[in-house]
Structure 1
Amino acid sequence: MASSMLEFRTPGFNPYAVKYSPYYDSRIAVASAANYGIVGNGRLFCLGLGPQGVQVEKMFDTNDAQYDLAWSEINESQLLVACGDGSIKLYDVNVNDFPVMNFHEHKRETFSVAWSPITKDTFASSSWDGTVKIWSPARKDSITTLPVGNCTYSTNYCPSNPNIISAVSTDSHLRVFDLRTPISAQYHLTVKIPVHHPPPVPLPPGIAPPAMPAEILTHDWNKYRDTVIATGGVDRVIRTFDIRNPAAGPTSLIMGHEYAIRRLAWSPHAADVLISGSYDMTVRLWTDGSTMESDGSSPIKRGVQLGVMNRHTEFVTGVDWCLFGVGGWVATVGWDERLLLWDANMILQGRL
């Protein structure tokens, strides 16, 4: 990857999500929708990176928009797509045209899918129907349904424990479920954090109190500190929380986006670094401040922007890190019908 930025276009389709393969640094997939996902079909692009740049290896069309995707953790050729008709489809890049499995219990749009990174034998989905569902790729019926009660934009597995699953939703709460608890105990709900609630400690200087509760659109678990979760959404603020002490409020506040934060992802290479994409058309690289000295005025750390990538010309809807290599390559997609691959280290050096 000698060039500082690679580009691939998705003509006629507006991307909603991008993911690097967990097996290969040269394989990447984009989930997209015609007409910005409002009406029309979806297209999954399975792409390869080679000497000629980004090339299509396979495309799969769906009857409805595609809002998210997840690579299988047990089969390097398979990946899931979350669809606007409530279905989740499992595709195999070696099988033409049709999904090898179809999972359809959600009553509204499926907006998020995540594959268990530990046991690798289940995946989770979340939907506008107010539920998170746990599935086995080997059976068409879900294993468990976790009620959230309102439109659930994002679900994820704890990176170190296959029984712990998180979700964020329109009601401004971060929920954490532990499947080891009795189902009678609130359907496995163990932590419920009101993200926009004023913290019980002083805010850092210059930071205003939280706005009214707003929709949370995205969240991610820290890969090195497995009790830390970052959230982002409509109020433009990234917050980190330690789920061991939910009453303490945010551990850091990260501000700078001008419109809603659509997607964020912690770095797999550094414990304090994350990337976010926004409706302000930018992708921003941050440190959450956890490695910096506190100024003593507040226990809440203030995140610092490390750089901005502003080559997208529409809403940025997807961001992902490459697991391999020197560490720093990221993929971003936006409604401008473009996938951009670039080295976040270039931002730090002021060369992007």
Structure 2
Amino acid sequence: MSVSFRTESRHGYAVEFSPYLPNRIACATSQHYGFTGCGTLFILDITPDRKLFPYRSFDWNDGLFDVTWCENNENLAVTASGDGSIQFWDILQPKGPIKVLKEHTKEVYGIDWSQTRDQHFILSASWDKSIKLWDPSGHQSLSTFLGHEHVVYSAIWSPHIPMCFASTSGDRTVRVWDIKKPQMANLVIATGNAEVLTCDWSKYDQNLLVTGSVDSQIHGWDLRNPRQPIFALSGHEYAVRRLKCSPHHGNIVASSSYDFSVRLWDFSTPQKQLECIRHHTEFVCGIDFNLHIPGQIVDCSWDERVLVYTPQSLLVPG
């Protein structure tokens, strides 16, 4: 059974479960599909009677394309905007962001808060071809990472290796960086002939990175020998917009796509596609696993709907 919330004239771009509360979700949205207009951050709670209730909503004067929860404050979320800025929101304060940082010269398309212990940094990925590193307590970036030759779509921290992150770009590469060496990526993986929109790290194998591309393909890369992917997952009909590795199953990946579908994959078996879910009528841009409830997923779409559900293939027997 799914629960849903309509974002009413706001088109979903990114969604993330709280790392603290199993029933709380942040969703970044944009007006007019993100091409013009403003954006809204929705903080949604799953109620005991299985409804999605809008706990808070915050408006910004440009589209919001991504959101990340703070890893050391359950009431803080950070968003990425089309005006080149990132915004810090205290969800206990109903008015405006508590801080805005702007250094990018084009849209910020990705934002991520580090998850390794005692490391509290933020990454922002931008269409200006750069990635910036921020200390949340500061007022200017600590470093700028250059090297991508096209727009940067995402920058995602490794959950295993401190100071390490991966980035994806329209230059058809995924790059792995050490924040101590912003001048050059440690590793550049040429993934093929398509722009790479998204990536995620395995939560069980520090050397496994999974990517999704405009050509509808999902690939797994072993960072120790990245010349060829260790697996390829085919089935989506259009671009893979976002993917997430399961925090509960080492071999499960969920993906969302411009083909209006969400798909579940098991890359360890010959029958790799576990399930195809078509409950949206527009691009599915955001997807996330609930850290606290095995199998539960949230997604958001340009059809103005946020859905929380447990796919049939991830139901726990009994």
Identity value in percent: 37
Q: Distance in 1 between matches of 2:222 and 2:79?
A: 30
Give the aligned partner of residue 6 of structure 2: 9
The DSSP-based 3-state class of the residue aligned with 1:17 is strand
Q: Equivalent residues in 2 for 1:99-118 (5 A)? A: 99-118=97-116
- Tell me the equivalent position of 1:143: 142
Do the aligned residues in 2 keep the contact of 1:273 with 1:286 (CA within 8 Å)? yes
Contact 2:194 2:215 in 1 (8 A): yes
* Count of matched residue pairs: 313
Displacement of 1:14:
0.2
Secondary structure at the counterpart of residue 115 of structure 2: coil
Partner amino acid, structure 1, of 2:267: D
Task: Using structure 2 for the length normalisation, give the TM-score.
Answer: 0.96
Give 1:29's aligned residue: 26
- Which of 215, 219, 224 is 2:195 aligned to? 215
Q: Which amino acid aligns with 2:253?
A: L
Q: Which moved more, 1:52-61 or 1:313-322?
A: 52-61
**Deviation per CA, 1:115-147, whole angstroms, max 9, x where unpaired?**
000134111010000001110110110011101
Give the gaps of 5 or more residues in structure 1: 197-212, 293-301
SS across alignment from 2:19? coil
Partner amino acid for 1:227? N
Q: Is the 8 A contact 1:231 1:240 kept in 2?
A: yes
Taking the aligned partners of 1:96 and 1:188, their CA distance within structure 2 comes to 41
For 1:163, the equivalent position in structure 2 comes to 163
Matches within 5 A, 1:219-234: 219-234=199-214
Distance 2:224 2:170 in 1: 23
* Code of the aligned partner of 2:32: N
CA distance in 1, matches of 2:31, 2:60: 10
- AA partner of residue 103 (structure 1): L
Deviating 4+ runs (over 6 angstroms): none
Give 1 or 2 for the bigger CA radius of gyration: 1
SS of the residue corresponding to residue 246 of structure 1 reads coil
- How far 1:188 sits from its partner (Å)? 3.9
Which residue of the partner structure matches residue 192 of structure 1? 188
| 1:245 maps to 2:213 | no
Cα deviations by residue, 1:267-305 (Å, 9 ceiling, x for unpaired): 00011100000111010000112xx4xxxxxxxxx6710
Query: Alpha carbon RMSD of aligned pairs, Å?
Result: 1.4
TM-score normalised per structure 1: 0.87
* 1:39 counterpart = 2:18: no
Q: Which structure 2 residues correspond to residues 1-352 of structure 1 after superposition, within 5 A?
A: 4-52=1-49, 53-118=51-116, 119-147=118-146, 148-181=148-181, 187-196=183-192, 213-247=193-227, 249-289=228-268, 292=269, 304-325=272-293, 327-344=294-311, 346-347=312-313
Partners in 2 of 1:140 and 1:60 — Cα distance? 22
Read off the aligned partner of 1:5 and give its amino acid letter. Answer: S
Question: Could you list the runs of 5+ residues in structure 2 that have no partner in the other structure?
Answer: none
The amino acid that maps onto 1:168 is T
**Structure 2 counterpart SS, 1:36:** helix
How far apart, in 1, do the equivalents of 2:124 and 2:38 lie?
A: 20
User: Are the aligned partners of 2:43 and 2:55 in contact in 1 as well (CA < 8 Å)?
Assistant: yes
Letter in 2 for 1:255: S
Residues 152-177 of structure 1, C-alpha deviations (whole Å, 9 max, x = no match): 00110111122111101001101001
